[in-house]
Structure 1
Amino acid sequence: MTAAARARAGRAAFRDRVAASDPGLLRLTAGLRTVSSLALTLGVVGVFGARVEQLVAGAMAAMVATFAVREKEWRGQALSLTAGLPVAWLSLTLGTLLSGTFVGVAVFVALIFGAVYCRRFGDRGFALGMIAFQSYFLSQFLGVGTEGLPGLYWPVGAGFACSALIRFGVVQAGPEQVLGRLRAAFRARFAQLVSAQVDLLDAGPDQIDKALDQVRGRTARLHETAMMIQGRLTEGTPDDRAASLVQRRIADAEIAAERLGLLILTARSAERADTLTLHLPGAVLPESGLQPVRDRAVEALHRDLLALRTLVLRSADEDRGTGLAQVRNRLLGYRDDDRLPAQASAAVRDVFRGVGEAARAVMGLRIALGGSPADETDDSPETARSREEIEAEDAAIAGAETEEDEQEEERRGLERPTTRTAAQVTVGSVLAIAGGELLSRERWYWAVLACWIVFVNTSSTGEILVKAYRRLLGTMLGVVAGIVLAGLVGQRVELAFALVLVLVFLTHYLARLSYTLMSFFVTAMLGLLYTLLNTYSFDVLLLRMGETALGAACGLAAAVLILPVRTAHRTDELLVTVLERLADVTRSAVRQLSGGPSADLLDQARELDEALGDLRSSTQPLTHPITPLRSRRNTARYVVAQLETCAYHARSLAATAELLPSQTAIAADPRLAGAGERIVRNIETVAAHVEERKDAGELETGASIASLLEPGSYASPRYGRVTDRVLRHLGRLDDAVTGLARPLEVPLRPRTRQGRRAA
């Protein structure tokens, strides 16, 4: 390899690592956009000889205009910025004119309620509410008085203008650009997962647990990226047909990658590996799977997994040359039983089949994203067949009718989450104002800010408690850092603002990763701002910590006393939603596989994944390391892992069912309708017990799903493997649903008459 080729390979590897660590470059974009807006504002305002107060006002306006506006489309962002500027001026005016009066406090409390309540109107409501609150807070922070108010209008306007210029002209992140970066991140994370699977195949007894944990983590990261892509398809694709194609190919690739990991686990064990092993932290392989098997077939498998990784990393533009075409042809050939290594064990042969299916998924994804991956003259017969299948599926997707989504009944009054949260924040803020005045009549607003922030993106008392703990920890550490930085900087304004830019970047870059680190950098930055405003002292930073603790405590008290949403109640509510979505996907997929009407299965599967993501977030207080309830933590992890297992098998059933209109190698089997009835009934039974309904029954157990089928085409050569895969997913789904009985205390009722009808 030449030096130029090595340099290109190194740059490509670096881009892939960056793309995988920050999908869509969303964190990097947020950090660069905020810092660039801040720097440009400081430059513009500084040119006119502005005072320090004006520099701070412009900088904070640029920051809030950047991070508060989070709509995905350009037009929506522009409208929010345009409406946000007069809102900022009005809020800044009220805060300054009414400062120190009872009316000012009353207006601030009303503004807090309105800022939270208006989030029910979507991203624009969130943006305007955030801008109004932060502008009022800015008026209290600066404390310039009525005589200095006119001098703040133009720096705030400059901050909004600079934010818009950076957003639309310099650090652009339009829907199409973000979706393109997310697709690159999906490829990079797919390749990382394959690398982890190679390590799992080769790992010895001492490395098996670490290798398995790495596969679990990278499987979860791949799923996270797939969900991010699906959430941006509407804005980032030209039409519904393109969105459907990408959605289908992303789902296929994710399922193929996860199934490949499961097959490797099975190949390492004397028995079929449980899907739960991929989702439950701490689960280990059976003892018989600790020693890696090394023979010629496994060596060839190792080579082909590395070849699959190369295939994944190559984009459509890079997919040239006969060498890569030969690799693709070889991998796709494993979809044909005649091309499988004859000397390999049955489990290893299944892994080769999984490699072939993964290669097909990569090929379909590449066609959907960037056109034909290579010259078709290089195709082998197996590759040509795969291409024809993909084209037939794409045509079927293009001709499908789009059904309107069912709208859920909207909650009203205090049952609406935004209204309830607004009431809680308002009461907590009143308590914070009263307590903050006792600590400091000049800086009571810090307590209000802490109370406000602990309610952002939380939905239960447990989530608020965890967020308050993280904010207090970050603030305490930030106070120490602020003391050190303020002492080092002194009155060197240029150095202080340069450090502020660095801290702002780190705040926004790490916000999605760690709330504690975000709070740390924010507090350290405020120490520098106090230095610039000539109000810095050790007592001020200690007061900042005390006000933060007070505000967090007031927020927690309001969450507990005012319309509380207990963590257990919230998780039960979300658990029922997940079970309902799971039942819908399973019912629709089995119905379509048995010859019933088609449905939009991928959208249903996406709704299931979204509901499962909400449940996973809501259980964080139960699984947090500080929780003293160890048994509840283990139960929550086990239930979520079982539901992730159910979701994987439901997604696989949905993907297989959607192949029916276009694939002649797959036929509907009417017998599957009866086989899936027990699963759906059991899912509904579990949901009824979680809701504590009086009509809740018992879970049915008995013979395997396969034994419930009549003799027939199940054993036929043409449909055997596909039908076997469907039955395997149904059986595993049945087992996973039954596995929820013990932790959720659902009674089991063995069936006395199974009517066993094995083929």
Structure 2
Amino acid sequence: MKAAGRSVRARLRDRLAASDPGLLRLTAGLRTVGAIALTLAVLASLGFGITRLVAGAMAAMVATFAIRERQRGAQAVTLALGLPVALVSVSLGALLSERVVAGDVFFVALIFCAVYGRRFGDRGTALGLIGFQVYFLALFVGASASELPGLWAALSVAFASSALVRFAVVPASSAGVLERLRQAFRARLAQLVSAQLALLDAGPDEVDKALEDVREGNARLHETALMIQTRLEEGTPDESTARLVQRRIADAEIAAERLGLQLLSARSTERADTLTLHLPGAPAPEVRRLPGPDEATAVLRRDLLALRALVLRTGVMGTAVAQVRNRLLGYRDEENLPAASPAVQDVFRAVGETARAVMGLRIALDGPQDESDDTPTTARSREELDAEDAAIDAGEESEPEEPKGLQRPTTRAAVQVSVGSTLAIVGGELLSTDRWYWAVLTCWIVFINTASTGEILVKGYRRLLGTVFGVVAGIVLAGLVGGHTLTAFVLVLLLIFAMFYTAPLSYTLMSFFVTAMLGLLYTLLHTYSWEVLVLRVEETALGAACGVVAAALVLPVNTDRRTNELLVTVLERLAEVTEAAVAQLSGGPADELLDRARELDQALGDLRAATQPLTHPVTPLRARRTTARYVVALLETCAYHARSLAATAELLPTHPSIAADPRLRGAAGRTVGNIRAIAARVGDGEAGTAVETGPSIASLLGDDGAARYGRITDRVLRHLERLDEAVVGLARPLDVRVKAPER
């Protein structure tokens, strides 16, 4: 019973870790709710009234979510600086509340300073956010000069409560967050293996669902790998350890993705291509039973289950688990492969390579392992990993040059928000002289984490949609709560937790919970009415419209311009990774390939976010939506092949079965040239560049001496050929001329 209980708890823990990597959303929700609850408890015990309770709760929320630094010392400094900023802001809000013109002018100036402060990093962003939100708080509760002493006390309690919860009740160190992200990576890797197991057994009617689960599993694993990458510097003791973890995470990710592709190829009537995994709407390949004897299929099913258990296993490894690991690693030797078709044997080889990556991940994350049960194959794999670890060296990164003046994003955004807020104030005053600030709040929010007019339009639409449904929920909750203050505060805490827990997942959901919570706050302040909630929708729509108008007319960043700039960046990163990887595979000097690959991933993620206005379901430009999805999907395919080339090239210095092939450099020159030609055309529409086609890369290498390079070079060639095909495929949607080869 105890063992069963531990098993259930372990499964629940793994499921939670996979759904919320690093428990970042859970921590944010608990920390905010804890700070608000503690503030309310202290203020209520001191006999404060409802207005100050609401003010304290809102201040505690702001003091908690505004702090974004990862180091605890930096968080404490920002929180300490935030209190005087909040006290000054609420004081000015109360003193200027009766002076309409002066108050509006100061509010616009405060908004400009708050947005401009983002150029100074997380601390500038936090202090600007605190200043704006606390000024809004003063307007929301109708603060006056006579109430300032009580509000100062409420804000001081709120900031103290936020600090106590952050540093004592729900602490989160950089090392602890990174450790939880590692657990999430393991959990998501195990989920991906489960999806591959389902793909192994899927019938003809189930293959679409199984393939979609594999796609989603790959995407979620990649997302976690990127999250780990962003926290390695703060969460590891030194740069060498950070690079080691980065290397092992990348190895495991690429090995797992390759295993899925080999399995799909074995079940397909023709060899599967990553285009099938990435292109939207691409039909699933025609599947069949695994060729060969049923015994091989049964063994493969057993080994996938064993691989999943090996991924989840942490701590000391027992004899039974060591035997399983040894068996899986044995598939790296040809003599240990089961009797099966070549395609199925490729799947077993991929299982062996994934097991090797899992062992490397275990050593990097859990430290040295017991070697007493090692077989010769396992010992050789361990020696390879040790040699790779010793070869890892730290490199220096150069800081990119930033734009200046109005070209700087923070300056441009500050001007745009100021203009939009001025329009929102004027329009909001016409709608309501008491609630006009809701329009300003919406205008402010739609500019956060957006960089183009299209992004602002989509965010405004989502906020309005969430607000409309939130109004309905607020009406229902206000009717249920009635005059029960305690019940209302409990529901407010639940809605705040839901708001922070869902914020990274859906902006519409977050807006829904915010609006429903505000309905309860209005009930507590005895200002609730149907008219107030309808006015909330009107002010939200007005604020979103003002934001879009300001973004479109004042220093506009057109969505096409924004996406083209990011597309050029992606193509440049793709060319750099490909060229550096091929150079190393050709016998050139070692380079920081994984760093380059992660820069490519980050650039692709930025492009994917920027194309949301073009790919949104409600966009009327259907052709552009299809084109944008197709281009991003092809770039994801290119990025996969570039990552695989980089990972293989990283093995060259230490892997005995991989030999450099000098012929690769010339064979891949056309692909790199085509990538740069497309980038030149996208960056300058008048550029007369063209994409070249020609013989396959394999034919360019010729046959002389090809046998000595073995199966690893075959795998490199497949990636190069698929990358070459995908790059040529980018030419048509991006209006780049394709030049046929000369006869």
The correspondence for 2:57, drawn from 42, 56, 59, is 59
Q: How does 1:245-284 map to 2 (within 5 A)?
A: 245-284=244-283
User: How many positions carry a matched residue from both structures?
Assistant: 741
Displacement of 1:713: 4.0
Amino acid at match of 2:384: E
Structure 2 distance, partners of 1:297, 1:740, is 40
- TM-score if structure 2 supplies the norm length? 0.98
Q: Kindly indicate whether the alpha-carbon contact (under 8 Å) linking 2:83 and 2:159 is maintained by their aligned counterparts in 1.
A: yes
Contact 1:205 1:291 in 2 (8 A): no
Partner of 1:23: 21
Q: Helix, strand or coil for the counterpart of 2:739?
A: strand
Counterpart of 2:598 (choices 596, 600, 606) is 606
1:593 paired to 2:585: yes
The separation in 2 between residues aligned to 1:37 and 1:424, in whole angstroms, is 33
Q: Distance in 2 between matches of 1:471 and 1:65?
A: 23
Bigger mean CA offset, 535-544 vs 433-442? 535-544
Residue 286 of structure 1 pairs with residue 285 of structure 2: yes
The answer to whether residue 319 in structure 2 is matched with residue 322 in structure 1 is: yes
Question: Which residue in 1 is equivalent to 2:435?
Answer: 443
* Change in 2 beyond 3 A, CA 1:290/1:549: farther
1:201-216, aligned counterparts within 5 Å? 201-216=200-215
Partner of 1:365: 361
Q: What amino acid does structure 1 have at the position aligned with 2:131?
A: A
Asked if the contact 2:678–2:736 (Cα under 8 Å) also holds between the matched residues in 1, the reply is: yes
The aligned amino acid for 1:729 is H
Deviation at 1:290, TM superposition (A): 5.1
Residue aligning to 1:341: 338
Alignment of 1:629-648 (within 5 A): 629-648=621-640
Structure 2 partner of 1:149 = 148
Q: Is the 8 A contact 1:713 1:720 kept in 2?
A: no
Corresponding residue SS for 1:304:
helix
Contact preservation (8 Å) 2:93, 2:143: no
**For 1:87, which of 85, 88, 98 is the aligned residue?**
85
Partner of 2:416: 424
Return the letter of the residue paired with 1:135: V
Q: How has the CA–CA distance of structure 1 residues 60 and 500 changed in structure 2, closer, same or farther, with 3 Å as cutoff?
A: same
CA distance in 1, matches of 2:283, 2:374: 41
Query: 1:752 Cα deviation (Å)?
Result: 2.1
Which SS does the other structure have where 2:347 is aligned? Answer: helix
CA drift of 1:667 comes to: 2.1
Aligned-pair CA distance for 1:330: 0.8
Counterpart check, 1:621 vs 2:582: no
Q: 2:379 aligns with which of 369, 381, 384?
A: 384
Deviations 1:114-151 (A, max 9, x none): 11111111111110110010011011111131111121
In 2: Cα distance, 1:497 partner to 1:300 partner = 57
Structure 1 residues 43-54: aligned runs within 5 Å: 43-54=41-52
| Corresponding residue number in structure 2 for 1:756 | none
* Cα deviation, residue 215, structure 1: 0.7
The Cα of 1:404 is off from its aligned counterpart by 2.1
User: How far 1:280 sits from its partner (Å)?
Assistant: 2.2
Deviation at 1:256, TM superposition (A): 0.4
Further displaced range: 114-123 or 695-704: 695-704
Q: CA deviation at 1:714?
A: 2.5
1:331 to 328, 331, 339: 328
In the alignment, the residues of structure 2 paired with residue 290 and residue 429 of structure 1 have an alpha-carbon distance, to the nearest angstrom, of 61
Percent identity for Structure 1 against Structure 2? 68
Listed one character per residue, the Cα deviations across residues 484-538 of structure 1 (whole Å, up to 9, x for unaligned) are 1112212221111111111111111111111111111111111111111111111
- Is it true that 1:651 corresponds to 2:643 in the alignment? yes
Q: Is the 8 A contact 1:32 1:171 kept in 2?
A: yes
Q: Distance in 2 between matches of 1:291 and 1:599?
A: 43
Spell out, residue by residue over 1:599-632, the C-alpha distance to the aligned partner (whole angstroms, 9 max, x if none): 1111111100000000111111111111122222
* Aligned twin of 2:714: 724
1:454 and 2:446 aligned: yes
Query: Does the CA-based 8 Å contact 2:463-2:511 persist in structure 1?
Result: yes
- For 1:653 and 1:706, how far apart are their aligned partners in 2? 15
The residue identity in structure 1 corresponding to 2:486 is E
> Given the alignment, which residue of 481, 492, 495 partners 2:484?
492
Aligned equivalents of 2:443 and 2:216: distance in 1? 34
Matched-pair contact (CA < 8 Å) for 2:62–2:130: yes
Structure 2 stretches lacking a partner, 5+ long:
none
The answer on whether the counterparts of 2:248 and 2:361 sit within 8 Å (CA) in structure 1 is yes
Partner residue in 1 for 2:730: 740
Secondary structure, counterpart of 2:203 in structure 1: coil
Is the 8 Å Cα contact of residues 175 and 234 (structure 2) preserved in structure 1? yes
TM-score, length-scaled by structure 1? 0.96
Q: Deviations over 1:66-102 (max 9, x none)?
A: 1010111111111110111111111111111111321
Does 2:401 match 1:409?
A: yes
How much does 1:565 deviate? Answer: 1.4
Contact 1:263-1:351 at 8 Å conserved across structures: yes
Rounded Cα–Cα distance in structure 2 between residues aligned with 1:164 and 1:728? 55
Which residue is equivalent to 1:757? none
CA contact (8 A) 1:203 1:292 kept: no
The unaligned stretches of length 5 or more in structure 1 are: 754-759
Amino acid at match of 1:339: N
